[in-house]
Every structure is written in C-alpha cells, then in structure tokens.
Structure 1
Amino acid sequence: MTSTVRLTVAQALVRFLAAQHTERDGRRRRLVAACWGIFGHGNVAGIGQALLEHAGEMPYLQGRNEQAMVHAAVGYARQCDRLAVHAVTTSIGPGATNLVTGAALATVNRLPVLLLPGDVFATRPADPVLQQLEVPYAGDVSVNDALRPVSRYFDRITRPEALIPAALQAMRTLTDPADTGAVTLALPQDVQAEAYDWPAEFLAGRVWHVRRPAPDPTALAEAARAVRAARRPLIVAGGGVHHSGAEEALRELVDATGIPVASTQAGKGSLRHDHPCDLGGIGHTGTAAADDTARTADLVIGVGTRYTDFTTASGTLFAEPSVRFVNLNVAPSDSHRMGALPLVADARAGLEALAAAVRGHRVDADHEAAYRARKEAWERTVDAAYAAPDEGARPTQTQVLGALDAVVGDEDVVINAAGSLPGDLHRLWRTRSRRQYHLEYGYSCMGYEIPAAIGVKLADPGRPVWALVGDGTYLMMPTEIVTAVQEGVGIKLVLVQNHGYASIGGLSEETGAERFGTAYRHRAADGTYTGDPLPVDLAANAASLGMDVVRADTVAALRTALAAARACDRPVCVYVETDTAPGGAGTAPAAQAWWDVPVAETATRPAAIEARARYERRAAGRRRHL
C-alpha cells in the first residue's frame, strides 16, 4: 500500500520545494533556497500558513514590492549560476500583476525564478470576489493569465492532485539550461487550503541533474574546419559562458589559438580585462577595439549569445562580405541565429571539444598584432575617460566609475541595468573576475539594481556588492532598501544624481526629439520642463529608509566615500551629483557602432529632419545574415 501524508496543497508544495536539489559536476545543492512573500487574502491562509508551519524547512524573506521580490530572486539565481533559485508568493489582484515585469525580465534573460501568485476561488462560492477580474467571454480567466506570455511554464492548480505533475514540470523548467525562465504556478486561494493525502514519494528528496550536452561530432568537425580556415576570427562571449562556468575553457582555447574575444553585456568578464585576447564589450555599447575587429572578422564564433540588436549594431556590425558564423549554444533556437552553423551544446563542453578539435592551430600573426594594437589604443581611451585632473571638481559619470574602479577588488560585484550607466560600463569597466560585472541588459529594467544586489548578497554574503543607480531608476524602486536594512544585508548603493533620464535624453537628442520630457525640472514659462532642477533630496530619502548615507560633491570626496562604503558592513549609500556638461576631461567616449531607433520620416523641426538624414545613411548598412 502506498504511504501518504495528509497536508494542505500549500503545505505539500512547501514540503516538496524544500526537498528539491540540483547537481552539476558532482556538486549538489538545494534548488529552492527561500521564498519571498507579501501576503494578502489570496495567500495569507494558504502559502503564508504553510511557510509558518514549515519555517524550519523553507526560509521566508519579507519584501516590500512584488516586482522587486522577483528582481531579488533573479539576482540570486544569476549569482548561483542558475543552480539555485528563490520562490516568490503574492496575493491575487495587484500583487500578482506586479510580478509581470519581473517575470519578463527573468524569462528574457533565461534566469530561473518560481512565482506562486494567489488566484481567485476555483470553486467560485462568490463571483466576483475581491480583486477578481471579470472577463465576459471566459469565466476561467484571472489576472494571473497576464503571466502566461512572460513565463516559460505556467499552470493553474484547480485541484489538489493537479499539483503533482505541475510541480514536477515546474522543477524541470527551472533546471533546464535551454528552457528556463519564470515559472508560474497560480494557486486559487481555496485550493491552497484544501487537504489531500499526498504520496510520500512526491514529498521525498529529489535531485535534478543539470546536463552538459556535448556537440554533435559532425557539426564539431565542420566548426573546426571553419576555425582553421579563418584569417580573422572573433569570439563573441555571451551570458551562456557564465551560466555554464565556461570561463576557464574559454581562456584555454584563446590562449592556445590567439582568437580574440568580445563580450556582450551578459558575457562581460568571460575573460579578465587584462587578458591580451580580451577586447571588451561589443556592439552599440562596445569598445572601438571590439567593434573594429568585428567589422573585419571573417568568422564569428558566438558562445552563449542571442545576438541582440545591441550586439549586432542592428545588423550593421559584421560587415565583411564573406563573414560566416558558428554558434555554440545550449538552446537550439539561439544556435541557428545569424544563419550560423549550429553547435548545440553546453558552453563549457562545447569549448573544450572545439579546443581539442583545433589543437595546434593559431591565428595569423598579423591578425593578432592588429587586435592587440586596437586594445592598447582603447585602454588609453579608458584612462582619459577616468582621469580627473581637478580633484576638487564635481565628478562626471565616467569619473565616478574611475573612482569606483580604484576601490573595488576582484571579489566585488557591480550591478546595473538601465540608464546611461550600462553604455559607460560596457565600454569602460575593467572586469577583474567572472562574477564582478552584473548587468541586466536583456530587459534593461529600471528598478532592478537594489533588489538584485540583495539577492546577490544573500547568495554570496562574503562579497562586497555594489548597486549603481541613477536618479531615474532610484525613483522607480527604492523600496527594498527597507528590506536590506531589516535583514542586515550590507549592500552598497552608488546613487548618481543627474536630474533626469540621461540615457534617453541623449537618444532623444540623437533622434531629433530634442530631449523632450527627459529632464527632471520645473516647468518654464513656455510650459516645457526646462526650468530649475527639482529640489528633491534623494540622499535624505535613502537615509529615511534606514541606510547610512555619505554625500560626495567632489572627486576627492567621492574617493574617500567609496573607500568608506567598501569597509562598511551595513547597507550604505554614496550619493554623488555629477557634472553633465558635454566635452572636457572625464567625458564618456561616443558610441562605436549604430543602434536602430526609427526617426520620424516627415517633420518640420530642423532637428528631426537632420536626424532622419543621419538615420537613412546608417540604415543603409543593415544586413541580414542568412
């Protein structure tokens, strides 16, 4: 006779999650390490009660904003190389719909997170109930259905026994390196509290082996022939290098062959910045060294990259007429991009196999000399951007990065996601280790940085973790500062005040929209937002939420403040107002490649007319790689 345990659905789910583990390369770890939650009538008596009853098995983390809880969980999963995750539970209604942005971010970036939103009654004793969405044409739709398109797996548990296959499918998706992202199990509030006799086997410990598929021998042989035949090959390292832990395999391949490496935002740090083959970021936010090498490359080897428009400069970067592509990717759909020879495999396994297949081969000396000269020239550009001739002056944003660069160690993690900082960081930051550069640029979500820093710090408490945030992003989501203070999570916030949306302001100017609606200023007499800067004090706001705050109004004061923040073990904020005047020392270098943002085809304002002419010249260089 099968042994059973009588529990509610919520209690069984918590017990089940606590018993799941991952294993890769012989290392076993717990899969669902904790559950974030904000409780309301849709989950307080179900998941909430279960987390209390089984507190010794599933740690609980209290959040302030549902979207932010997902961001924290994503930061945690990325720091754990996708081998461990956090769950997030919310009530029905606005609590559930607040998950959508975070879920989209997780799925776009192929990062696992488990979402457990409450749902309306499955038995419909009252209709409608509080926060229920009424859809005249479909009685089984709730607001949780908004999570379907942004989830890799979605199910609604309308009967207790349905939890068993759904939970197993959820774990499969969370641990599948080619098919992971947000996983949503919508839980009607009455079903959460319903009791059922659960098979003991369902609640027993289970290990999910994270596979490392090897490349197909025929495809590998063809890829090796392409490498040997290429005169100017280039590797584009994406986030898959980090997720697979393939950094050493990549380094061994390029040490042996001399093939240069350019990195996407997610892949930066695949090589140390001072490795002779590392050319830095690629694409619209890339370095001149990487982009100029990409323009002449006759073979591009993508490793764990999706080739987004920023990486390809909207199809204008890889300009060599005869260029070919080899894509090493664990996801078959990504491996076929750019008309490439697909090498479907785990990044580490694939790089090791490719290195063996091309053993003894090295690139031409002329190619090696050319890209190394470009790298040396770009290092001088970085030095100029970081330089601060006047220590008593207000720093520029790039000088802020230069001051931080002088403070951090190899073990530090620097987190950013949106605004003008991603471009400056991708071009300029000198990454020292595989985990140091943490940019969320698949979704580029404002508000990600502070909660993600908490997630990273929870995953790796011994590391100094920095969240770099502009004023626009800060105003979107400062709420989790309270969580950091409550939990004693010593994140370090660098809060850059530049009085508006700096990145979109620049893009607006480039596209003929004249920075309309991008400044944080009072209205002027003509009704435009061109008056005095708003008298907000974001440093005071951070302090009011419990952070230690250090203000820095000069380059010298900034250096002192950053050093003090690194030594602080409490949540600490360094607040700096930057010099945004164009030109001069400490100015960020211009974009080295194009990005396609369509410009008005017809207009009367001169700025838009001129921008359209520039757009048409650049768009003429677009190319589809088939």
Structure 2
Amino acid sequence: MTCAELLIRLLRDTYGVNTLFGIPGVHTVELYRSLEGSEVLHVTPRHEQGAGFMADGYARASGKPGVCLIITGPGMTNIATAMGQALADSIPMLVISSVNRRDTLGLGQGRLHELPSQRQLVSGVARFSHTLLDADTLPEVLARAFAVFRGARPGPVHIEIPIDLFNAPATPPRCWQAPKLYRAAPDPEGLREAAQLLKAAKRPLVLLGGGCEDASQAARTLIERLDAPTVTTINAKGLLGRGHPLDLGANAALPAVRRLASNADVILAVGTELGETDVDVVFDDGFELTGTLIRVDIDPEQLVRNQTTTLGLVGDAGRTLALLAEYFPEPLSRGGAERVSKALAELDLANDPALAPFVPLYETLAEQLPEAVLVGDSTAPVYAGNHLVSQPAPRRYFNASTGYGTLGYGLPAALGAKLAQPPLPVVALVGDGGVMFTLSELATAVEERIPVVILLWHNAGYEEIRRYMDDNGVARLGVDLQAPNFMTLADGFGCPTIHIESPVELAAALAERDISRPLLIEIDASAWQRSVTRKDAP
C-alpha cells in the first residue's frame, strides 16, 4: 500500500469521509490515482478558495469535517482565505496538500509551486499545520486532526505531503477503527457554584453561541427551567426552534436587548466568543455586562476574552448544559417570556426602516421553503436576516458576515451545504459585488447538478461600504461598480435564470423552479424596494 492509497482509505474507512473538494494538479495526480474506484465523491470547484468555502458549508450543514485536496503553492495561498473564515468560526476543515520533495524543502531552488515555507504561511489560519516526513506516521497525524475536530475547539487543520512520499510504501494500521473520543466535562464543583448563582438570580440572561449547535435539546431544557431571556447568536440560529418565547435572536447589538444585558444580575454565556460579530454588529463596543458572568467553553482561553468573567467552566457545551439542567428539576418562574416579548415589541424589527424591505423576502422563503438551509455572503439581505430570521433547527442559517467576514462565501458554501444535506432545500444569499469573487462556481453547480437556489441581490455595487462612506463623510470611491449581465453569464454556464422585482414574483419563481437544477434569481434591489413601499403605503 502506498502513502496515497493509505490516505484515501483512512479517510473513507476510518473517519467516514465520503466527499472531497479539490482541483487536481501535477503534484497531486497520485492522490487521484488512489481515488479511482474508492466510491468517494470528488467535487471539482473552479478555484481553491471555492473548495475551501464548499468544505466550510459542508461542515456547517452536516457537523462533519469538510475535506479538501489542494495543490502545492498557489493552491494553498488561494485557500488561505477560506481557512481564515473557518478558523474564525471554529469550523472543522481538513486541508491536505502536496509540497515539494523532502530533499528540496527550504532550499529556494525555484521548483514548481515552491514557497519558502508553505507550512509557516498556512499556520496562521490553522489549528495546526504538519509536514509528513514518514509515510508510516500518516495514521497518527490524521488521528491528531480528527482529535481536534471531535475533542477540542475545531478549526482548519493542514497536512502537507511531499510529492516523493505519495508512492512511498506505507504500513497499514493494525486497526482501522477510529478512536472513540469524548469531550471534556466541566468540573463538578464549578457546576455546583454556577447552579447556585443561577438559582439566586433575579434577572438572569443566557447567551448561546455556535458552540452549542449540537446541543439544542439540552439548551431548550435549561433555559426553560431557568425561565431566562436568551440571545442566540448568528451561528446559533435555530438552536431553540422557530419563534421560541424565550429567544431574543441575534439582536444583542440593539438597544432593548443591550438594556436587558446591562441590567442582568447573572449571565450564562455558552459556546460564544462574546466578540463583535456575536454581540456587537454595530461595532461601538456598547455591549456591556455588569452582572456576574458565568462562561462555558471547550477552549479555556475563550473564558477570559472580551468580557470580565466571574466563573469559567471548561467543557463541552452540550454536556455542561445538560448537567446544569439537573440542578433545576422544576422550572423557575421569573417572567422570562414577558421580558422577551417586551424587548422584541420595543425593537419592532419588521418596521425598522433598515430591515423592513427584507421582511417580505424572508416571509416568502419561510412560506415556500420552510425547511431551507440559508447560506449567506456579506450582503444587505444577510445583514437584515441576521436580525429577522428564525429557523426551525440549528445548522440551517450561516454566513460570512461573522468572524473573518470574507466576500465570495455564499455561493460555494451553499453548494457544500447541499451536498451535506441533499433532502433539504438550500438557498444562497449573495450580492452583485461579493458573488463576483466566486461566480465561477456556477459551473460547479451545473456540472455536479447541485440544485441550489441563488438569490442575487443586485444593488449595483458595495452598498454597505457606500453607506459607511456616506455616514463618515468619505467620498464614494471604488464602491459604485459596473455589474455584468448576470442573466447572460448564468446562461453561459448553463444555469437557469429569472429576473424578479417583487415578493410575488419571488414566490412564483420558487414554486415553479426545477428542483433538479440550480436556479439563479436576480432581484432588482431598487425595484424590489419600490414594490414593498407601494404595498405598505396607506
């Protein structure tokens, strides 16, 4: 068995990987020889950044690591942006790349695709980066990667294999079964102390982040027994189900929720960084917690970042939530639902001028595709959706406005999400500016027959930056873009298209679409807003 053959078999048989994203190159052809007949699906994007975003979307929608096969040098610099997004949002991604021969590493001989140190370049966007120097150590290195994904704070892991190792003989492991790993449980004494603080609270508040995605039942049980208003961050949408009476949504940056937070005497924050894109999307550092702060995270360093922690519990979010709930066998009564209802009424999101144009968009999506996974780029509908959307389950709403905040994410990530969840409709929410970063992935959607719906919000430029420039007295430079004819481009890729200007037209397009093919729906932003305004006029 060669090293390349061992790699593919370990991925498939030991770690259950059935989908790979990558672009073949002369340095990785031996990996592709080993893929033949493996029954592992290989998806070829049109750019390595697209491969990384597809793997990210696959991981977020499925909870399983997304895996990429990437060429030496430019392949790795291309995927680095996608790795940065995955690192910021703690998304499990395995990037396996080639690198130049062992006897040439670091010599600067001008070899094809050579970097001074590929591993050093990638280390800043990976939990760890490893250069394989002996084929027989491959099982141990892969085990380390999956230990990070399953037992610690996840993120991208990079393993580079010198091209002279792919055909080197490798010794198969004695056992092909992956080790069974359990995440850390919190300290019992810390749990008791946290429970006492929560029992004594008069005005408790809970904040649930993306680290809780796999703990929806435990989260609902605990907050209902605490009767506590709860912020679910953007990456935790759907955790409590659609329209839960204790759910404040991802609105921690808005005044009514900020007042609840600053007045809370005890705050429980689980699986959240409490960073800007979790609680401060207006970026004014105005989210203040003055009460006793209890934090739970798998990463001990997170317990002391951004806010002053009173009590920190290192452990798995789901296990901690379940153990805390045992201290509250009977539900408490502290007016939680009434406090949430009052705050949401004060926010009146549906009538907020910045959000109102997007209310009918999300109402139409909820009516036509109630179970859909919504995958977004950094674009106006997504910024609004972060406040407006309520999903029936976790892993059905994610976007690139969080963490790293890259552009070009929405389309390829939606393709990955659809491959991860074939029974569910998947909608990519993109803008005319950001989609140009990865528009070539329309070819992947068509070739692989991935039936995503692509909602393209066309407002002729970088609207968010335009507004920011206007608000700060900066002349509009570089933000008013000449857009291509997206209908013609999509048609050239072989992707069906439709141009719409109103919610009624959107509903018809969704209802009449061919569910076996991708569909690009171009929304004329100006016409849409006029349509919505006319409808709302007295």
- Matched AA of 1:129: R
8 Å Cα contact 1:294-1:317 kept in structure 2? no
Alpha-carbon distance in 1 for matches of 2:451, 2:329: 46
CA 241–297 in structure 1, closer or farther in 2 if over 3 Å, else same: same
TM-score, normalized by length of structure 2?
A: 0.90
Structure 1 residue 339 displacement after superposition = 2.5
Report the 3-state secondary structure (helix = DSSP H, G, I; strand = E; otherwise coil) of the residue aligned with 1:41.
coil
**Alignment correspondent of 2:322:** 352
Structure 2 vs 1, CA of residues 99 and 272 (structure 1 numbering), >3 Å: closer, same or farther? same
The correspondence for 1:574, drawn from 502, 514, 521, is 521
Equivalent-residue separation in structure 2 for 1:542 and 1:49 (angstroms): 33
Of residues 135, 141, 154, the one that matches 1:180 is 154
What is the CA distance between 1:535 and its match in structure 2? 5.6
Distance 1:482 1:470, change over 3 A: same
Shift of 1:514: 4.1
- Structure 1 contact 216–343 (Cα < 8 Å) conserved: yes
Structure-1-length-normalised TM-score:
0.78
Q: 2:194: which partner in 1?
A: 223
Structure 1 residue 511: Cα displacement:
3.1
Larger radius of gyration: 1
1:528 corresponding residue in structure 2:
none
Per the alignment, residue 196 of structure 1 pairs with 169
Cα distance in 1 for residues equivalent to 2:228 and 2:519? 42
Moved more, 330-339 or 274-283: 330-339
Alpha-carbon separation, structure 2, partners of 1:549 and 1:208: 47
1:570-612 C-alpha deviation (Å, 9 max, x unpaired): 111111110289999669xxxxxxxxxxxxxxxxxxxxxxxxx
What corresponds to 2:226 in structure 1?
A: 257
2: CA distance between counterparts of 1:40 and 1:56? 19
Determine whether 1:436 maps to 2:367. no
Task: Name the amino acid aligned to 2:298.
Answer: V
Aligned to 1:160: 135
Q: Which runs of 5+ in 1 are unaligned?
A: 1-6, 22-29, 134-140, 389-395, 521-533, 588-626
**1:160–1:368: structure 2 CA closer, same or farther, 3 Å change rule?**
closer
Deviates more, 1:438-447 or 1:66-75: 438-447
- Identity of counterpart residues, as a percentage? 27
The answer to whether 1:56 aligns with 2:38 is yes
- The corresponding residue for 1:524 is none
Conservation of the 8 A alpha-carbon contact between 2:119 and 2:129: no
In structure 2, relative to structure 1, the CA distance for the partners of 1:124 and 1:253 (3 Å cut) is closer
- Residue equivalent to 1:237: 208
Question: In structure 2, how many angstroms separate the alpha carbons of the residues matched to 1:570 and 1:303?
Answer: 39
Note the alpha carbon deviations across 1:127-162, whole angstroms, 9 max, x for none.
3222223xxxxxxx3344311111112111233334
Aligned amino acid, residue 225 of structure 1 = Q
Does the alignment pair 1:370 with 2:331? no
What is the distance in 2 between the residues matched to 1:91 and 1:370?
54
1:176-195 deviation digits (Å, cap 9, x = unpaired): 2x2321111112212223x2
Task: Kindly report which structure 2 residues correspond to 1:29-428, keeping only aligned pairs within 5 A, or say none.
Answer: 30=16, 32-44=17-29, 46-52=30-36, 55-81=37-63, 84-124=64-104, 127-133=109-115, 141-176=116-151, 178-193=152-167, 195-201=168-174, 204-242=175-213, 245-284=214-253, 287-313=254-280, 316-319=285-288, 322-337=290-305, 338-340=307-309, 341-360=311-330, 362-365=332-335, 368-378=337-347, 380-382=348-350, 396-409=357-370, 411-428=371-388
Following superposition, the deviation at residue 471 of structure 1 comes to 0.6
Q: Secondary structure at the match of 1:19?
A: helix
How big is the shift at 1:359? 3.6
Alignment gaps of 5+ in structure 2:
none
Aligned length: 527
Shift of 1:296: 2.2
Alpha-carbon separation, structure 1, partners of 2:420 and 2:409: 16
Give distance in 2, aligned partners of 1:449 and 1:570: 18
Question: Whole-Å Cα distance in 1 between the matches of residues 485 and 210 of structure 2?
Answer: 37
How far 1:59 sits from its partner (Å)? 2.9
- Checking the alignment, whether the CA contact within 8 Å between 1:497 and 1:578 is kept in structure 2 is yes
The separation in 1 between residues aligned to 2:450 and 2:279, in whole angstroms, is 38
Pair 1:324–1:549, CA change in 2 (3 A):
same
Report the alpha carbon displacement of residue 315 of structure 1 after superposing the two structures with TM: 7.3
